[in-house]
Amino acid sequence: MEAPFTRFIDLDGAWPADILGAGNYLDRHAWGPRVRYCAPAREIEAFWAETSASVAPFTLYGSGDYHHLSALWLRQLSEPFTLVSFDNHPDWDTRPPAWCCGTWLNQAFKQRQLEAVVVWGCANFELNPPHRWFGNQKAVASGRLILMPWRDRFGRSAQRRYPGIVAGTWRAEFTRLLGQMRDRTVYVTIDMDCLRPGDAVTDWEQGLFTVEDVAWALNELRRETRVIGGDLCGAHSPASYARWTQRKNATMDHPKKPPVDRQTALRTNLRAFHRIWPALTGRSGNA
């Protein structure tokens, strides 16, 4: 039997169960509250032990609260690769918990095959002081982590440290950097909070990319590099936690957002999905 090319790992009901077809669906609702936002390493490894045999090159999953699971999806890669991330947050914080949606790049860096990470579209406060003091500056200094944030969302000191992008010229900057990556092996991770409000409904602060921006970038990546896998998360889902410490930390960290109409959120996110997913996977339809 041929191994699946795509897999929907359903942790929180953020997407319809049949979105990738019945054969590509994996029910992990029982794990959702246990690994949402953050989890002890023992929980992460237990989840991975139960799930690793079912992963596929391209993974769809739920809220951006689960983005740290991307560090697990990367474990299926056995050759050197570059990670390209589209995210409103750098996810580079070096403070505990180690397995958290805001710290997961540090887990990814433990994989020897990972050569470099490029994060496009950060528009949140983490690059301003004092927040950046807790980021993985060692990875930035070594060139292993390249941040390409929206310049107009940050103060002058952040603009001096990170080259950044602006709306009128970011595609040219993307093309320039892509020229340095030509023919590299690439894995792509996308958090839908990189999209502007109106193009997606998420559980976090949102960035400035349009759906068409991200689809264009993905098609350019496929044209210039060898994309061997990727994942998409970030759709809204109601939060549920297994531990009080997890709930407390998540509540403190999340932005205060107005109530979400789930049907409206789903319609909005499905429009984004149907544009982004084919560009990510290189295949049309649900495959």
Answer yes or no: is 215 within a domain.
Answer: yes
Relative to beta strand 81-86, strand 185-191 is: parallel
Which one-letter amino acid corresponds to residue 226?
A: R
Average pLDDT estimate for 152-180? 92
Residue pair 182/242 in contact (Cβ under 8 Å)? The answer is: no
Answer yes or no: is 232 within a domain.
Answer: yes
The total of structural domains in the chain comes to: 1
Answer yes or no: is 173 within a domain.
Answer: yes
pLDDT value at position 46?
98
pLDDT value at position 173?
96
Answer yes or no: is 92 within a domain.
Answer: no
- Helix or strand (DSSP H, E) at 273: helix 262-281
CA distance 113 to 198: 37
Of 200 and 125, the structure prediction assigns the larger pLDDT to: 200
Answer yes or no: is 57 within a domain.
Answer: yes
pLDDT value at position 287?
52
Q: Which residues does 191 contact at the CB level (< 8 Å), separation at least 6?
A: 64, 67, 85, 86, 87, 88, 89, 202, 204, 233, 234
Phi-psi region of 132 (alpha: psi -120 to 50; beta: other; left: phi over 0): alpha
- Helix or strand (DSSP H, E) at 278: helix 262-281
pLDDT confidence tier of residue 160, bands split at 50, 70 and 90: confident
Answer yes or no: is 37 within a domain.
Answer: yes
Answer yes or no: is 19 within a domain.
Answer: yes
Q: Which domain holds residue 36?
A: 6-81+168-281
Answer yes or no: is 97 within a domain.
Answer: no
Mean pLDDT score of the chain? 95
